[in-house]
Structure 1
């Protein structure tokens, strides 16, 4: 794990006007009662993966008398986010000791078989959705205080006395979201896989839309700026909840620090406050979120308020350039995210993202009729494009390299295409050559794959982009996804940046964008 870029001097600057606007836009959550659809039994297959080998009606639940060591697994049929109530009773003699039970919530089936006791990764074990409970008095209705993200629930009896058994009369969940899937029209296509990809994208987005756009309802349950950008784009083509985008933009804009820097993410409880982590690329991309919002709404007041903050991020980004006109190599730090790929050097991509953000800054300045900023950014951007070619283009390989070891990665090529360092035809040749070469440092997150698809479409390779959506997100569905995952590496399906898939998020905001691409560029 690279070191985290935590700011040495951390002083939050609050814009009370912005925070009031955000508070007024706080949504009311939709709720729905959800019951399990079946009781299942699982076993490992020849690939050491869990699969269902037997199922029963949930009506059979109250007939089961569970003794120590016995368990029951409930399948709620799809991924849900919400609160769970257990109606518990007993069978036999009067309860003469506490019932000691273990609950394990899982977003996907394989999580039920994951060994969590030995987990010692760098992300806190506290995110693992499991509970150990003592029930002193039965019968009881027990409403669990935590919010869970899950499809499956295992209830295991750790201890009861010899005189009684535990009975689970009913398990009910109350799902919560700021939006409803009923608000979204179906995708107009006869292609069943694309329909499924679209539906899973929408459910992923819906379950991450809570009081803000969360990055993941299981983990981290906060608002990351990079995720917000992609969620907002998908939202404009589905739920059209522009108020939530506006709320999130004002929250980020209302809580700046250190010369106007934007935090990489915001915590929501006990009150909203910024994390002390700065990500170079996330801060720069704020301007694209503002521009997308303005184009979707025509809300000039919001543009007037947030334009200076967006331009400020570019000004800050430019201060990191060295005397050669490039961004120094900070790949050993969690400083510019780009992707989770192991060993990824982010130096060249950092410069490309800076150039990309300047393009959005120019467009914002055009809407603001800010001629001075247009001229300044345009001139500076051309200089940086030349620097990118001079320092990172390898003519022999016909690819961009990054860092002292001249690493070739997918991410570097994709971001150089999006930055439009070359013209469209040369960009098209670059992305096709990248596919042919297939660099060893691959993309591993749907976040990076989003930008890959974007680069293909912008290079007039729409059919290839559609093929790649089918291959990547479609394969996730074939692997059992009800919602799309934080990380998916087809070459290593058990990859985790945290030390174990036990803490991976299997409903993650940045993976929801196939619905954006399908509805914007293909099936409008």
Structure 2
């Protein structure tokens, strides 16, 4: 398209700016994500045996019509590249063969390309001067058109078109089906060589393809991988391995077919073989770290850096759970990864791909990953995506699938309107011994209520007043029922469950902390939950980083940053004391010896690099730097710094169009933002001073100041 920019205030004629649009490969929304997820998730092996996912797999639509209506001021030649068999129609007339170029004359036109591809996702790339394949194209997997006996094309159509989806394949030779993550060579930090064996230590947890160099002879090679040295040395119990048969009279190099997670590699070979050396090809996602955090506490700095590395390793084609064992897309794990991502990478495409892959397609036959709570986290992730990015395209594309998934949930309510586990439902919540899943669990009802509120908000964004009202009413009714059934004046908290409509006497942290940061509790109820649940040593402790994430968030919401900081140092610092180079799936400080690696009744079943272990990134960014969006896409944002016992801290939080920087010590703050409208809120024992902005007193030593982009603010105050 040719854009004309006419600028006022200048007597001279302005230049006409020609800006050629960008062409990219396009496909039906969600199809590429589902196809890629299928390919990735079925790479898992258990000691060399294929180990597929255990929930329903969907697939892409094999036949797709791509359509674009446009007007040309001048004739134009276009290039066409396609993944699949295809034909091309211009203004309803079928072109001969499968053209790779086409001349189009001046005037109004409709260009249609129909593609069939059973193996890969039907995709197209079109590039002309003004006509390009981009997100404005319309797609359908069923055109519902027919031609009668007279040759007339139907004049009525029930076809539903969607806007095209895309990623970053921007040249005709950059085929989406050929995508793979980049690799680079990496080498062990130390090696122990014995007779026909080699033990490599790469110094820290890593991921990629092992490469054997200079193999020669005939015999077998056995490779045992380990996140710990103990695991690599355990030929009978290590989680992953490779076995090779070699027959070569000349030296050869061999790269393993599947990538693996490891720190240690134990290589053993037959006596008739020789091996010169071994290294690896490190495989990684090319996301850029945009967030940062640094403070006066060296242990917290190390925890933040290890958390960032942990999240990066688990950021692959999608956000996965852990790099050793599953390498699957679990909705609960992914939900936390999204939030950490907003404070580290702010990589929206990976979030979108993961959300699409998790949802799959209709019909809905089970909860996402078969887990009830994971279905609800999926709804919540869409709300958060819009809040952080301001991009509602994903809502427009996914709303029909949001509705059918919510219909599935609504159809499975009990007579009281609650969600109970039915055959085929996994009620997960957390890895916790003795946690009952019977009856209607209050934790699930809270997530269900929040999901209904999300549906109402999305319907409002799409101007669907009927749906918005329906979901709002359902959420309000459910919320009232939750507190009438589960809130116990005796325990000053929500009880864990109700069986046959009768509340139990069990109290734990899960439902209470979610009710707190969902904003469902009154000020008095918040203080009760804080005293009688969150800070009550008689309540069962949480032993996974997964739920530590939410427990510490709820405490930060109550202003307990000093307490939370010590918890982070004790819990995540405890893993570091045990030699962790990435954070784990589970950590129980009471466990000793070999037990620290055991899980799922397997000696080395525990993942030592798990995405949900990286939560300090989110907590330190949102509740210490105190930066969060209060309008979609950081168009408006809030900064509420809290040192929490630190002497100083500084960091950057990425936004869709830039970043927000904060430095804070006990007497001075510096703020610099490149986008949006912000408000700095803080307390000061004496009247604060800032030459660059106007500080407004809100009473009781509370102050606020407007933050304008591009201004470097210095605030002098007294924190205590």
- What is the TM-score when the length of structure 1 is the normalising length? 0.77
Distance apart, 1:280 and its partner CA: 1.4
Q: Within 2, Cα distance between the matches of 1:467 and 1:224?
A: 30
Distance 2:560 2:405 in 1: 32
Distance 2:523 2:251 in 1: 69
Q: Cα distance, 1:111 vs. partner?
A: 2.3
- 8 Å contact kept, 2:239–2:604: yes
Partner of residue 557, structure 2 = 458
Residue 288 (structure 1) aligns with: 380
Partner Cα separation in structure 2 for residue 147 and residue 236 of structure 1: 27
Aligned partners of 1:474 and 1:395: how far apart in 2?
37
Q: How does 1:250-289 map to 2 (within 5 A)?
A: 250-258=356-364, 263-264=368-369, 278-289=370-381
Is residue 14–residue 256 contact of structure 1 (8 Å, CA) maintained in 2?
no
Distance in 1, Cα, partners of 2:577 & 2:239 = 25
| Deviation (angstroms), 1:322 | 1.9
3-state SS of 2:281 partner: strand
- Structure (1 or 2) with the greater helix fraction: 1
* Greater fraction strand: 2
The counterpart of 1:197, out of the listed 298, 303, 313, is 303
Name the stretch that deviates more: 353-362 or 210-219.
353-362
- Structure 1 175/437 Cα, relative in aligned 2: closer, same or farther at 3 Å? same
Instruction: Specify whether residues 155 and 112 from structure 1 end up closer, same or farther in structure 2 by C-alpha distance, changes over 3 A only.
Output: same
The equivalent of 1:105 in structure 2 is 225
User: Does the 8 Å contact 2:367/2:425 carry over to 1?
Assistant: no
377, 396, 409: which one pairs with 1:304? Answer: 396
Measured after TM superposition, the shift of residue 82 of structure 1 is 0.6
Q: Quick one: distance in 1 between partners of 2:308 and 2:300? A: 12
Deviation per CA, 1:296-340, whole angstroms, max 9, x where unpaired? 33223222112343354444333333222333356x975222111
Shift of 1:222: 1.9
Q: Which residue of 2 aligns with 1:81?
A: 207
| Paired residues of 2:186 and 2:281 also in contact (CA < 8 A) | yes
Equivalent in 419, 423, 440 of residue 327 of structure 1: 419
Larger Rg: 2
Instruction: Give the Cα–Cα distance (whole angstroms) in 2 for the partners of residues 11 and 132 of structure 1.
Output: 29
Q: Where do 4+ consecutive residues of structure 1 move more than 4 Å?
A: 10-20, 22-28
Cross-structure match for 1:169: 276
Does structure 2 retain, via aligned residues, the 8 Å contact 1:22–1:248? no
Match of 2:612 among 497, 506, 510: 510
Alignment of 1:92-491 (within 5 A): 98-112=218-232, 115=234, 117=236, 128-137=239-248, 139-157=251-269, 159-160=270-271, 168-179=275-286, 183-184=289-290, 186-258=292-364, 263-264=368-369, 278-328=370-420, 335-346=426-437, 347-403=441-497, 404=499, 406-439=505-538, 441-491=540-590
- Counterpart in the other structure of 1:272: none
How far 1:515 sits from its partner (Å)? 0.9
2-structure distance, mates of 1:254, 1:154: 39
Which stretch shows the higher mean deviation, 432-441 or 229-238? 432-441
1: CA distance, partners of 2:578 / 2:457: 41
CA displacement at 1:99 relative to structure 2 = 4.4
CA distance 1:245–1:397, change in 2 (3 Å): same
Structure 1 SS opposite 2:433: coil
Task: Provide the aligned length of Structure 1 versus Structure 2.
Answer: 456
What are the equivalent positions in structure 2 for 1:50-69 lying under 5 Å apart? 66-67=194-195
- The corresponding residue for 2:622 is 520
Deviation at 1:419, TM superposition (A): 4.2
The match for 2:701 is: none
Q: Do the aligned partners of 1:116 and 1:502 also contact (CA within 8 Å) in 2?
A: no
Matching residue of 1:21: 165
Q: Which moved more, 1:242-251 or 1:302-311?
A: 302-311
Which whole-Å CA distance do the structure 2 matches of 1:473 and 1:365 have between them?
Answer: 40
Contact 1:179 1:209 in 2 (8 A): no
- SS of structure 2 residue aligned to 1:483: coil
**Secondary structure at the residue paired with 2:165?**
helix
In the alignment, the residues of structure 2 paired with residue 352 and residue 185 of structure 1 have an alpha-carbon distance, to the nearest angstrom, of: 31
Partner of 1:274: none
Residue-by-residue CA offset, 1:401-441 (whole Å, 9 max, x unaligned): 22445433232332333444422442243033213433554
Mark the CA change 1:333 to 1:307 in structure 2 (over 3 Å): closer, same or farther. closer
Structure 2 distance, partners of 1:310, 1:485, is 32
Q: Normalising by structure 2, report the TM-score.
A: 0.57
| Other-structure match for 2:601 | 499
> Which string of whole-angstrom CA distances, capped at 9 and with x for unpartnered residues, describes residues 24-57 of structure 1?
67675232210011125xxxxxxxxxxxxxxxxx
3-state DSSP class of the match of 1:76? strand
Distance 1:250 1:131, change over 3 A: closer
CA distance in 1, matches of 2:421, 2:349: 38
Cα distance in 1 for partners of 2:534, 2:591 equals 19
- Give the direction of change, closer, same or farther, for the CA distance of 1:230–1:436 in structure 2 (3 Å limit): closer
Displacement after TM superposition at 1:395 (Å): 2.5
Cα distance in 2 for residues equivalent to 1:338 and 1:249: 20
Other-structure match for 1:46:
none
Structure 1 counterpart SS, 2:223: strand
Gaps of 5+ in 1: 41-63, 120-126, 265-277
User: What secondary structure, in the 3-state scheme, does the structure 1 residue paired with 2:604 have?
Assistant: helix
